[in-house]
Each structure stands twice: as structure tokens, then as C-alpha cells.
Structure 1
Amino acid sequence: MAIPLLAYSPTCPNQRVDALGAPDDEAIIYSTDNQYSPTEMGDLINAAYRQIFFHAFRWDRETILESQLRNRQITVRDFIRGLLLSNTFIDSFYNKNSNYRFVEHCVQKVLGRKVYNEAEKIAWSAVVMTKGVKGFVDDLLNSEEYIENFGENTVPYHRRRTLPSRTLGETPFNITSPRYDGYYRAKLGFPQTIWQEVVRNFTSYENRPKNGDPSLFLNMARSVNTQGGNPGRTSVYDIDIEKSVPYRKR
């Protein structure tokens, strides 16, 4: 039995603060309202992949959805729904995370903001539990907040990355939020310290010794045995002079 979204009190994070006339770190907005050329439509599709997947390899791309969007058979909101319900997203974000972490990922990617508090995570997690992933995605995309900010034709983006009093903005969510939570990162062996050692011992090409540099022969020089052989100790009384001196017969 599906239950309605539980009530929670929205806090006041970055995106709820008015600009007050100060310059803001505005994200690039991609919308089919002003995208007409194939190149511009390709940029919009790539922006959607970056927002939802962070990066899409060739086998991650949904070519059928892309074709439908290019031909205006579906809206951007339908395209975002297809990406959220794709096998790649389900396997990478839903199967590898708890419901709370999955909700956090989806709110950041779909609504363009961080979750307000633990109460919001619990409320949306109850939707995942009762309606499943599809019902949860539909509720997010049909929410008043999504329609008001992105509508049918705009790719979701990181809203209000800076406050008027700050000089440095926030890093986008798709970069700061790991795809897997701590439990699954530990199971998969992340982080792998072997790469840390490689990076720590890396020497740039400019600092590497060139041909003829004496340091290149240091290991060879160290391998040479510098100790001479011990001379033989033979007493003169043990030398047979007659046999030692060559004798020539006539």
C-alpha cells in the first residue's frame, strides 16, 4: 500500500536564498525551447548525461531515447525519466546504495539541490519502499518543485551554486557525491592504495634523466665488485727453481 509523502520542514540551504541583486554563479541552462541545430541538441543531451550519470560511456548511452528527443517525440523531462530508469542508473546508484543514499543522489540530480534534512530523506525513502523506483522517479519529476524550476524542456542543473557574500562557489553534486556509499566502496576495494603509490612516486618527463646522464648508470656501478682478489702467499722455500726456470735444449 502506497503512503503519501511524509511532511518535513524545508530548511534554508543555498538555493533558497535570494540573489539580492548580486551576481550569481549561474549554471549553463540547456532547454529545447532554444535548441534547434543538431550540435546544440547534442550539447543538451550530453548535459543531461553529465547531470544524471556524471559520465556516460558509449555502452551507457540510451540511443532510442536520444533519437526520440532529437525528433521531438518526447520532452526533456521524459528523457530524464528514461535515464533515471535505465539499467545503468539502477545498477550504479540503486543497487549499490541504501534507500537513503539513493534518495540523496536523486534529489541532487533531479531537483538540483541537496536534501534539506534527515526528515526529507526518510520521507522520500518511504516512497521508494512503497512505490518502488519507478513510482519514486515519477513523484520527483511530477513534483511542484521540479515543474516550477525546470518544466518540460529544461535539463536539471545545480541551482544557486554561490551565495552573494561568497567568492568561491560549491562544487557540483555529480562531482562531490561518490557513486557508491562507504559499504560498497569497501567491498569493491576503493580506494586502491596501489594507485596512490604510483601517483606519489611519479616523476614528470622534464625531471627524468636524459640519455648520457650519470644517474642512469648508478645501478650498474653499484653492481660492480670493487674488492680485488687476494694475492697468493707462497714461501720462497717452496719454489722449485729447476722446474720453474725454462730450459732450452740444443
Structure 2
Amino acid sequence: MALWIEAESVERRSNATEDDLQAIIRAVYRQVLGNAHVLDSQRLTNVESQFRNGDITVRNFVRAVAQSDLYRSRCFETSSPYRFIELNFKHLLGRAPQDQAEIAEHVQIYHQYGYEAEINSYIDSDEYIRSFGEHLVPSARGNRTQSGIKNVSFNRSFTLMRGFAANDVGKSAKLISDIGGNLPTKIVAPSGASGVYSNTGKRFRVAVSQVSYGPRVTQSVTTFEVGYSQLSQKIQNIQKTGGKILRVTEVA
């Protein structure tokens, strides 16, 4: 069984037929909505018409889908903040977030400027323009060497992608323990025929360094053990109180 399936690039060309345009529209929905089935009643018919008429580019069609109520309901309202940002990286840049700094940057964008600004920060980025331009549908890129992108992104992108059959059901972030603890992400082969691997039943041990300032500056190390569902909140609480995460390890 292949552990990675590379998406074929889909591009709008100047001589595109109606069939070509419909294929691009389907590819945008599939990529931006995470392989979800879209009902006819949910389609953005006005935006599709603008795209088919040449009034907007693929990039702005992607923007419209990502800023739609449909995307918001599927990827924002039902997800944790970290998961929402993971999905934005996956759907709009075709890769996983590299590190905690990238996550923190996008958390700040959302809290300071709002939902639309968070979406625009990906689509208007130099990385998006360099990778997809105006006419390419975003697609998975984490399996290729890229300038300025760390090698650890391959494993993290694989964890998010898992091939075309994977969808984005689940509100918990998949990479929070590795990114929060600055740990490499392991590739785990799918078990059985389903090809699905889950961390949700596991427990993790978080080692934290805390500095106390008094008559003397002291440093202590504390260890917490939490379930996967509490891990994201625990890491956020540690960071808010000034703690430094030393490591996050899976409890056998």
C-alpha cells in the first residue's frame, strides 16, 4: 500500500473547455473542503459563474470557497483553533505547518484581524503565489523538497494528507504534540485495510521547564500526563504561563 499519493496539478488554461472548467471547479472543492462531498445546494453557484466567465482566477475562486459559510462550518466552527490552522495549511498551501512559530503567527492573525484575514494570509502569501500562481489549484506539496521549507514537513504533511481517500473529520489537531514539543513526526504505517491511524486513544507525558524569579532565580522541571483530547489545551496553558516544553512523549 502506498503511504503517499501525489495529487495531479490542475490548471486553468486559456483554451479551457466547459468540461475543463467543471473539472477545475470540482478540484477546488475537493482540495479546499478536504475531500468532502458537496451537495448541489451547497455549491457557490454565483462564484462558479464568475469563474467560468473568466471574471475571477482560480486563486480567487479558492479564496471564495475558503471564506464561505460552508468552509467555516466544516473547518472552523467544528475544530479546535490548532486544528483550524492545520487545515488551512493543508487546504490552501498543500503542506503542514512547520513549527510552533508558524502556528503562533496564524493564531495572532486570527485574533487580531479576524477570519477573513487569516484565510487571506495564506492565499496572498509569497509562498502561495510562487507555488500555485493565479491559475493552479492548490495541491499537496509536502512530499517534495522546497526552498525555505524544513525537511520535517514531509512527515507532518504525510500525517495530514494520508492519500485521496482521507477526509478531515475530527476537531482535534493531529500535530500538536510534535509541533508544541519541537519533536520530529514519525510516519506510522496504516494498520489493517482501512489505512487510518489515530492518536485519539493515546496518552502523552509532557515535560516542562519553569523559571521562578525571586531572591534567587530557580528552574524546575515538571511532568504532566494527559490524554490526547487534553493535550492541545495543556500545551496552550503551559505556554501562556511562560513554561518551556522540553519534550512530549507517548506513554506506552
Settle same-fold status: TM greater than 0.5. yes
Give 1:28 deviation, angstroms: 1.2
Query: What is the identity percentage for the equivalent residue pairs of Structure 1 and Structure 2?
Result: 28
In structure 2, how many angstroms separate the alpha carbons of the residues matched to 1:112 and 1:102?
14
Instruction: Decide which structure has greater helix share.
Output: 1
| TM-score (normalizing by structure 1) | 0.56
1:70 aligns to what? 52
Unmatched 5+ stretches in structure 1 = 1-23, 164-168, 183-250
Contact 1:111/1:146 (8 A) holds in 2: yes
Give 1:118 deviation, angstroms: 2.3
Q: Size of the alignment, in residue pairs? A: 155
Contact 1:109/1:174 (8 A) holds in 2: no
1:117 aligns to what? 99
Give 1:178 deviation, angstroms: 2.6
In structure 1, how many angstroms separate the alpha carbons of the residues matched to 2:63 and 2:95?
18
1:228-249 deviation line (CA, Å, top 9, x unaligned): xxxxxxxxxxxxxxxxxxxxxx
Aligned-partner residue type, residue 42 of structure 2: D
Query: Counterparts in 2 of 1:73-222, with a 5 A limit?
Result: 73-161=55-143, 171-172=162-163, 175=166, 177-181=168-172
| TM-score (normalizing by structure 2) | 0.56
From 14, 21, 34, the equivalent of 1:41 is 21
In structure 1, how many angstroms separate the alpha carbons of the residues matched to 2:61 and 2:109?
22
**Does the C-alpha gap of structure 1 residues 78 and 99 become closer, same or farther in structure 2, counting only changes over 3 Å?**
same
Structure number, greater radius of gyration: 1
Unmatched 5+ stretches in structure 2 = 146-157, 174-252
Where 2:169 maps in the other structure, the secondary structure is coil
Instruction: Work out which structure has the larger RCO, using CA pairs closer than 8 Å and 6 or more positions apart in sequence.
Output: 1
1:160-215 deviation line (CA, Å, top 9, x unaligned): 5378xxxxx86248825435338xxxxxxxxxxxxxxxxxxxxxxxxxxxxxxxxx
The CA RMSD measured in Å over matched residues stands at: 2.6
Give 1:59 deviation, angstroms: 1.9
Where 1:175 maps in the other structure, the secondary structure is coil
Contact 1:158/1:172 (8 A) holds in 2: no
Which runs of structure 1 show a deviation greater than 6 angstroms over 4 or more consecutive aligned residues? none
In structure 2, how many angstroms separate the alpha carbons of the residues matched to 1:146 and 1:75?
14
In structure 2, how many angstroms separate the alpha carbons of the residues matched to 1:95 and 1:159?
26
